[in-house]
Amino acid sequence: MVLKKRVDYGFNGFRVPVIPKAPRSARRRVAFNKAVEDGQVCAIELLASLAGQLLQESESSASSNASEGNHQPAFSQGVIEQDIQDEVKPLKMEEIHQGNCAESTFKTEVASQKSSQKPLSHTKTGHVSVNNSSDCCEKAEADVKSEIFEWDNKFGNYSNRLVETREKFRVSTHGNIKNGFKWEQEAGSSCIRGSNLADKCSLEDHLELYVSPALIDSKSNIKSPFHRKFFPSASFSRYGNGIKLGFRDDDEKFLRCKRVCTKPKAFRSPRRIAHRRIRNLMSSKYWKTAPKLKDCELSDLGVPRYHKRKTCYGFERSQHNAIVKKRKFVDRVSGVTSDGGFSSESVSNSPQKGMDADKPSSSAKLHVLKAKDSHVKFSIKSIRIPELYIEVPETSTVGSLKRTIMEAVMAILGGGAHVGVLLQGKKVRDDNRTLVQTGISCNENLDTLSFMLEPTSLRASPTICVGDPSSQCETSQPTWPTETPVLDSGVTDTLHDSPLLTYPGNLIESNHEPTSSLADTTVNKITPDSRAIVAVPATTETLAVVPVSQKTKRSEFVQRRTRRPFSVTEVEALVHAVEELGTGRWRDVKLRAFENADHRTYVDLKDKWKTLVHTATISPQQRRGEPVPQELLDRVLAAHAFWSQHQAKQHGKHQAGPGTLKITEASAERPCVC
DNA sequence: TTTAGGG
DNA sequence: CCCTAAA
């Protein structure tokens, strides 16, 4: 799926997943188990680190070989650097779980180039679908498709030759799949072998990495540098076809380090950030419990979507820390922009049937790092594809839906999209202004800075219609709803041309900011194949084509707040507060009854009261939404009548207000305070 | 910033 | 819910 990108390098595959054995001591074991459960002990992390190390070695080896006039596949340093820093290369997988089926797509593509004459170079992507792997199932078979990219000696380049293989795997569960299962390849030299929770107690007191033999240079001592640099307490030894990475029991500290995200010396890999990302894509938990996706869902694109730092492992924070840690010169990190951009999820003028993927929204989440050197560094965490319309038959498979979305996304990215810049909710239109002039370099503004994708063409065909495989509707270009022309007579300030449409499609432009070389490692490249793209949670709503008037043009991308209807409980609280405070003191009402409801402003309360009064006035048949108890509506009417004739604004009777009212006013209109 | 009202 | 004049 998936933003597949063929890489020019590869490796022979790490074997996943592997989990270190639980420590011996009970206390440590508890901590360990928890870490495992939380997905915080991730073999992938180790793998990635290892990969990073191997890469480094291959780099140096390649360069040294090159200097010897050897015609090596020349992993030019640049290539490797770039690719690795692209963060998504080394490992990735996705899974989808549906009923009794588990599907996994994995991709291993970590470069390693150790052997002299026959450089290894293939990327392996696989698709595993495990059927019938319900809890009670003992065994299941999995088909694996591999795409292998190989080095082509003829052309002196990676041929990108696609080799598809089908391999049989057997998945053995240990009674209950919750306890884990084991992958074993029936045939083939490149095994996938691993174990998970179920095995952790039976594992040796080490972590085993099965690495392709090609990764081990018979002459080169991989063990030593790797050992010292990354895994102080680890030891390497040959193990069958691979190498075995062992950890001593005292590595508990390593586990703990990872948990709190302190700086584990053992993991000060230069590829740290990339590895973090890898883990995001491929947590051990993810692997472990393929059929048991519960904490992490899949978003539309099949990318794991992590819930708010709950069980799903505070990856974001970790990564964040990693970034900050890596860059000592960074003296300030501004906050992450909230959901910038626009996502008018509440607007739904033309309901579409059974839509799954919508919530059209485009925004960028980013970190903006302000560095001493007057450079503004942007680390865009994700950028969403705005307003993607997809329509598929009910009978289409999830897989086809995913492919459809993928196609749409790729069409957008490939077909030319621009990056829009939003500052404080408003488009920054003038491309010629500097960041300073625009205020983007201003710390206060960074919080409100966001990016979004914008369509190149304003032409809009409403949906992507995808039929079943046989009858394909023409895959129309994904489109955005009609957007207000940017070119119309300029009510806008300092609008000379249509700078929004200045940049040609390449989204890399979004990182066009001047940066130091260091920043390059920070910035997520927003390339068409970037895995940073995050699908937006699906809702049942669809954004209709909303014409935007010229007058509102300037704020057309200001996100409307999500509609959050008042619950009966809230209404009750509101009524009660108004009964006591009156109708002219909404701030007080807010403070009294909605102090902790950040999403309810005093204006909201005022508005709600207004609608409540209206609701109470009309007949029950005309009312909509969640019905408000008549009793409450009666109180609304009573309070409204009382306070409107009582002039609530008169100060000086805050506390006495209700009481006074209770006794002195006409009892018929007295709001019921009980 | 809050209030008050129209949209 | 949004927008804004007015206080």
> A18-27, A112-121, A325-334, A493-502: which range is least confident on average?
A325-334
Distance A378 CA to C2 C1' (A): 31
Distance A424 CA to C4 C1' (A): 19
Average pLDDT over residues A565-576: 92
Q: What's the mean pLDDT when you consider all of chain A?
A: 44
> Does A653 contact strand B, using a CB cutoff of 7 Å?
no
Cα angle, residue A187 at apex, residues A186 and A188 outer, rounded to 5°? 140
Using CA atoms, how far apart are residues A200 and A376, in angstroms rounded to an integer?
45
Using CA atoms, how far apart are residues A57 and A76, in angstroms rounded to an integer?
12
Distance A587 CA to C7 C1' (A): 15
Quick: pLDDT tens for A141-167. 444 444 344 444 444 444 444 544 444
Are A144 and A169 a contacting pair, CB within 8 Å?
yes
Cα angle, residue A464 at apex, residues A461 and A465 outer, rounded to 5°? 115
Report, in angstroms and rounded to the nearest whole number, the Rg of chain A calculated over CA atoms: 29
Are A278 and A92 a contacting pair, CB within 8 Å?
yes
Using CA atoms, how far apart are residues A204 and A210, in angstroms rounded to an integer?
14
Judge residue A21's burial from the number of C-beta atoms within 10 Å of its C-beta, 0-12 exposed, 13-18 middle, 19 or more buried. buried
Tokens read off for A43: 């073999």
Judge residue A576's burial from the number of C-beta atoms within 10 Å of its C-beta, 0-12 exposed, 13-18 middle, 19 or more buried. buried
Distance A339 CA to B5 C1' (A): 30
**Which residue's CA lies closest to nucleotide B6 at its C1' atom?**
A607
Nucleotide nearest A604, CA–C1', reads C1
Are A206 and A23 a contacting pair, CB within 8 Å?
no
Nucleotide nearest A565, CA–C1', reads C1
Average pLDDT over residues A537-549: 29
Nucleotide nearest A562, CA–C1', reads C1
Angle of helix A43-67 versus helix A77-85 axis, rounded to 10: 160
Nucleotide nearest A563, CA–C1', reads C1
> Does A591 contact strand B, using a CB cutoff of 7 Å?
no
Distance A610 CA to B6 C1' (A): 12
Return the closest-CA partner of residue A515 out of A503, A523, A507: A523
Distance A195 CA to C3 C1' (A): 59
Look at residue A609 and give its three-state secondary structure: helix
Helix (H), strand (E), coil (C) string for A243-272: EEEEECHHHHHHHHHHHHCCCCHHHCCCCH
What is the helix (H) or strand (E) element at residue A33, kind and residue range? helix A26-37
Q: Which residue has the higher pLDDT, A51 or A281?
A: A51
Query: What b-and-e string marks burial along A80-111, b requiring 16 or more CB atoms within 10 Å of the CB?
Result: bbebbbbbbbbbbbbbbbeeebbbbbbbbbbb
Angle of helix A568-581 versus helix A656-664 axis, rounded to 10: 80
Label residue A400 by pLDDT band (50, 70, 90).
Answer: confident
> Does A583 contact strand B, using a CB cutoff of 7 Å?
yes
Contacts of A159 (CB under 8 A, 6+ apart): A149, A150, A151, A152
Nucleotide nearest A552, CA–C1', reads C3
- Residue A81 confidence (pLDDT): 19
- Residue A292 confidence (pLDDT): 23
Average pLDDT over residues A304-326: 22
- Residue A625 confidence (pLDDT): 86
Distances in whole angstroms, Cα of residue A177 to Cα of each of A5, A138, A197, A198, A663: 33, 8, 10, 9, 68
Contacts of A521 (CB under 8 A, 6+ apart): A85, A273, A326
Distance A80 CA to C4 C1' (A): 56
Distance A32 CA to B6 C1' (A): 61
Which of A315-319, A394-398, A519-523, A551-555 is modeled with the greatest confidence? A394-398
**Which residue's CA lies closest to nucleotide B1 at its C1' atom?**
A587
Provide, rounded to the nearest whole percent, the portion of chain A with pLDDT above 70. Answer: 16
- Residue A421 confidence (pLDDT): 72
**A372: which DSSP letter?**
T
- Residue A422, strand partner residues: A427, A450
To 10 degrees, the CA torsion angle through A192, A197, A199, A202? 140
Contacts of A46 (CB under 8 A, 6+ apart): A18, A207, A209, A231, A245
Return the closest-CA partner of residue A116 out of A214, A211, A210: A214
Distance A624 CA to B4 C1' (A): 25
Tokens read off for A294: 């519960």
Region of residue A64 (phi > 0: left; psi between -120 and 50: alpha; otherwise: beta): alpha
User: Is the domain covering A566-645 a CATH 3.40.50.1220 domain?
Assistant: no
Write down the residue that tokens 């392996």 correspond to.
A124
Look at residue A78 and give its three-state secondary structure: helix
Tell me the domain boundaries of chain A: 396-453, 566-645
Q: Which residue has the higher pLDDT, A240 or A636?
A: A636
What is the helix (H) or strand (E) element at residue A324, kind and residue range? helix A315-326
Label residue A414 by pLDDT band (50, 70, 90).
Answer: low
Single-letter amino acid code for the residue at A504: P
Using CA atoms, how far apart are residues A83 and A111, in angstroms rounded to an integer?
10
Q: Is the dihedral of CA A398, A404, A409, A410 positive or negative?
A: positive
- Residue A624 confidence (pLDDT): 85
Contacts of A190 (CB under 8 A, 6+ apart): A12, A13, A124, A212
What is the helix (H) or strand (E) element at residue A381, kind and residue range? strand A376-383
> Does A587 contact strand B, using a CB cutoff of 7 Å?
yes
Are A605 and A581 a contacting pair, CB within 8 Å?
no
Nucleotide nearest A602, CA–C1', reads B2
Quick: pLDDT tens for A353-398. 223 333 323 332 233 333 334 666 666 666 656 566 676 777 777 7
Using CA atoms, how far apart are residues A88 and A126, in angstroms rounded to an integer?
16
Quick: pLDDT tens for A630-662. 999 999 999 998 888 876 655 444 443 443 343
> Does A585 contact strand B, using a CB cutoff of 7 Å?
yes
Using a 7 Å cut-off to protein CB atoms, list the covered nucleotides of chain C: 1-4
Return the closest-CA partner of residue A292 out of A129, A99, A537: A99
Query: What b-and-e string marks burial along A172-200, b requiring 16 or more CB atoms within 10 Å of the CB?
Result: ebbeebeebbebebeeeebbbbbbbbbbb
Q: What are phi and psi of A504, to 5 degrees?
A: -70, 170
Could you list the protein residues whose CB lies below 7 A from any atom in strand C? A 552, 555, 558, 560-565, 599, 603-604, 607, 610-611
> Does A607 contact strand B, using a CB cutoff of 7 Å?
yes
Q: Count how many residues are written for chain A.
A: 674
Using CA atoms, how far apart are residues A124 and A190, in angstroms rounded to an integer?
10
Using CA atoms, how far apart are residues A93 and A126, in angstroms rounded to an integer?
9
- Residue A330, strand partner residues: A371
Label residue A554 by pLDDT band (50, 70, 90).
Answer: very low
Using CA atoms, how far apart are residues A594 and A609, in angstroms rounded to an integer?
14
A406 CB neighbour count, 10 Å cutoff: 18
Which of A68-82, A123-137, A171-185, A584-598 is modeled with the greatest confidence? A584-598
Are A653 and A660 a contacting pair, CB within 8 Å?
yes
Are A255 and A11 a contacting pair, CB within 8 Å?
no
Helix (H), strand (E), coil (C) string for A107-165: EECCCCCCCCCCCCCCCEEEEEEECCCCCCCCEEEEEEEEEECCEECCCCEECCCCEEE
Contacts of A144 (CB under 8 A, 6+ apart): A126, A127, A128, A165, A166, A167, A168, A169, A185, A192
Q: Which residue has the higher pLDDT, A289 or A633?
A: A633
Using CA atoms, how far apart are residues A440 and A230, in angstroms rounded to an integer?
38
